[in-house]
Amino acid sequence: MSKEDNRTLFTLLNGGWESDPLASTITLTPIVDEVTETTVEKPSVGIDRYEKRSLLGRGGMGAVHEAYDTVLQRPVATKSLHDTVSVTSPLWKRFYREAQITAQLGHPSIVPVYSIEFTDEQQPLMIMKRIQGVTLEDYIEECKECEQRPLPLLYRLEQRLEILIKVCDAMHYAHVKGVIHRDLKPENVMVGAFEDVYVMDWGVATPLKSSMALDPYEEEVLKDASLDVQDLGINTIHGQVIGTPRYMAPEQARGELENVGAAADQYAIGMMLFELVMLTEARPGFKVLELLDRAMAGTREWDLEAVDPRLAAIIMKATEPQIEDRYDTMRQLAQDLRLFLRDQAVKALIEPTSMKVWRRIRQHPLQLALGISAVFAVAGLITITSLWSALQAISQTSQHERVTTHLLNQISDQTQDLDRSFSDVQRSVQRLAVRLESLYTLSSSMLVQNLCVDYRSLTELDSTKQHPRYQDNWINIETPVCLVPETVGRETAGEGLWLSSAMTPYIIQEYQGEEAASFAENFWKEDFLHPIQWSYVGFADGILLNYPGVAQFGEGYDPRLRPWFIEGQKFIEPTCGEPYPDASGSGYLLPCNQRVSKPNGDLLGVVGLDFLVDSVLNELELKQPEQVQQVFLLNRKGEILFSSADKGQQVGSLKYQDQNRSKDTSLFKQSQVVAAVQDKQKQGLIKDRHTVYVFSRLQFVPWTLVYAFEDSIWELER
């Protein structure tokens, strides 16, 4: 039989045999389709082949319609721009790039793009698969509304997590291909009728600036499949915020273009994971600016007590404010979710022994029964003494775990409180910087009615009083003061003086904050604990605006020589620096500063707010755990910024002799703690001889809080 015969379907005549079944040959007849002569009309080409039907959705940029492909005779979805969008506009270019990017992402959970067509006016029409299903946003609402108990399979937690795992897989593929989405949210995920899941709307997607590390399998599969996107001249400007504030990562909300990468997509998926688990908004609120503030701070006011600790740990790791604390890749997040669904240990949580044992018991009930039987069988051989020793060991282990958990929780709470204070101050500094830049740009010197009060004449005002928190210096909270260095001369001072006057109401407002109504009454109370010692602006021309008003500065004081000014010139964003001695002699200060530049890039000044180190220590003492020996704040090198031993320390001797140097630092004495800090470990406990060190890293400053305890802490009942 020839090769041609082998490629043709045959039937056997007469049951298969035409002659004697023992014959050496058979006759096979090919099947031939009956062809009738019909005329096939020439199909429509280009945009004319798609018949627009019902509207599926409309946005600010365009609309999505259901349509019918008259050539292939199938339903499709078409996405188009509004007619008012010009072919030269950035929206047109983004639309075109969206089509290019999505068409090259060939993953089962990324919506397929079939084609892009253009009208005679060059308006684009993107042709996509028509998805039969609902958005993840609607699916979550259906889960909330389902009152059946137990829940139908469609709405159970396991099914919800399976949906998100498919989103994780799709995004890992996109990241490996070299593109980030930047606007992941439930509204942009479709859940199909057959458990198919699609990531939609890649309108603000952009290529990754750096390639990801691939495993050998990924390298082999994708070695010839890199993303090829035409350069259309679309560039996101540094500081520009793109995305949805409700799901946005902190670095994305702050417009830190260089830091927005795959981890930002992961953060958004972490927020979606919270909503799928808790069936409530991860970041509630209606005002965009309020949501943006929460996004920048990475605020997570969540109660996950009722959630399995492993799943809670996955949620928290995926939504860590610091990029380096999140999963390295989307694949790792998906893998942890799969491990959880298989009732196994997850990478995001270091489980206590009791949890591991309990899970193994659940997974192996037969072995448990056999083990119990064996225990009873040999129970008679165990002496009372050995049994008592075993029980003592178990009790000590359990006690050790309870104390450890209690300490870590307490330190974590302390860290969050301190973090919140730093975050609030950094936002205040940022607002001052924006206000100063605006006033300079407006050139509003003509609007200034009164010059700033000279600090040397402050004692002449009736509202000036001595204050114990400022080492009995003369203080005034009704007005800030201005200082002109001896090398400048008040008569020759220019923009620094009129800008100081223009900034007066704003510097007072940021210092007093929400306490403005009762501030004057509380400020003079000895037990009033205000987190900020000073609010100020140091100008490049040497002028200093300082609030509260103070009548004393160090001899030969020049703000341009102070540590906060020297370091603050480098900070284009609000940043907290290392302690330095207060020129007024009130103690060591912890500054938070930001550079303000003129439109041409030259330095205009440095704005800042200072914590008094004593006030930080006082805040920590209010809620610190029992039996604390000492508290330390370490920088990223493991050096001691300050400790509880610094509380109440006077710096008057430094004020005149060496007014411009920062506080001396020394390396922390415990090498394991230093190594943990340098490795950016988030939290931990280290025992060294008779001392126990518990540490927790802050989020908004690169510092670590360390508590030292005596090892007798293990004996406390919890």
CATH superfamily of the domain spanning 132-350:
Transferase(Phosphotransferase) domain 1 (1.10.510.10)
The pLDDT of residue 240 is 53
Q: What is the dihedral of CA 357, 362, 368, 369, to 10 degrees?
A: 150
Residues linked to residue 311 through DSSP beta bridges, in sequence order: none
Concatenate the DSSP letters of all residues of 250-317 into one string.
Answer: HHHHTT-GGG-SHHHHHHHHHHHHHHHHHSS-SS--S-HHHHHHHHHHT------TTS-HHHHHHHHH
Query: Are the CB atoms for 707 and 411 separated by under 8 Å?
Result: yes
User: Which DSSP category does 456 fall into?
Assistant: G
pLDDT score for 214? 56
4 compared with 312, residue with greater pLDDT: 312
- For residue 211, the model assigns a pLDDT of 61
This prediction's pTM: 0.50
Percent of the chain with pLDDT over 90: 30
Q: How confident is the model at residue 189 (pLDDT cuts 50, 70, 90)?
A: very high
pLDDT, one tens digit per residue, over 384-436 is 445 445 444 444 455 566 667 777 777 877 777 787 888 888 888 988 988 88
- Residue 700's contacts (CB-CB under 8 Å, 6 or more residues apart) are 297, 321, 419, 422, 423, 426, 576
> How do the domains of the chain map onto residue ranges?
132-350, 418-622
Paired strand residues for 546: 481, 536
In sequence order, what are the beta bridge partners of 693? 686, 708
Highest mean pLDDT among 311-325, 373-387, 406-420, 509-523: 311-325
Chain position carrying tokens 């490049």: 540
In the chain, the largest separation of any two C-alpha atoms, in whole Å, equals: 132
Here the tokens at position 353 are 């022994």
Cis amide leading into 108 (omega within 30): no
Residue 621's SS3 state is helix
- Per-residue pLDDT at 382 exceeds 50: yes
pLDDT for the residue numbered 17: 36
Coil, helix or strand for 414? Answer: helix
Question: Residue 647: its pLDDT value, please?
Answer: 77
Under a CB-based contact definition with an 8 Å cutoff, are residues 97 and 113 in contact?
A: no
The string of pLDDT tens digits covering residues 12-48 is 333 443 334 334 444 444 444 555 565 656 666 678 8
The answer, yes or no, to whether residue 5 has pLDDT greater than 70, is: no
Q: Which of 236-250, 559-573, 643-657 has the highest mean pLDDT?
A: 559-573
596: left (phi over 0), alpha (psi -120 to 50) or beta: beta
pLDDT per position as a tens digit, 109-157: 999 999 999 988 888 999 999 988 899 999 999 999 887 777 788 889 9
Please provide the average confidence, as pLDDT, over all residues in the chain.
79
Q: What is the pLDDT of residue 351?
A: 72
- pLDDT over 70, % of the chain: 76
Convert the pLDDT of each residue in 226-237 to its tens digit. Answer: 444 444 444 444
- State the pLDDT at residue 237: 40
Q: How many CA atoms lie within 13 A of 372 on its CB side?
A: 6
CATH 3.40.50.720 assigned to 418-622: no
| pLDDT for position 424 | 83
Band (60; pLDDT cuts 50, 70, 90): low
Residues in the chain, overall count: 718
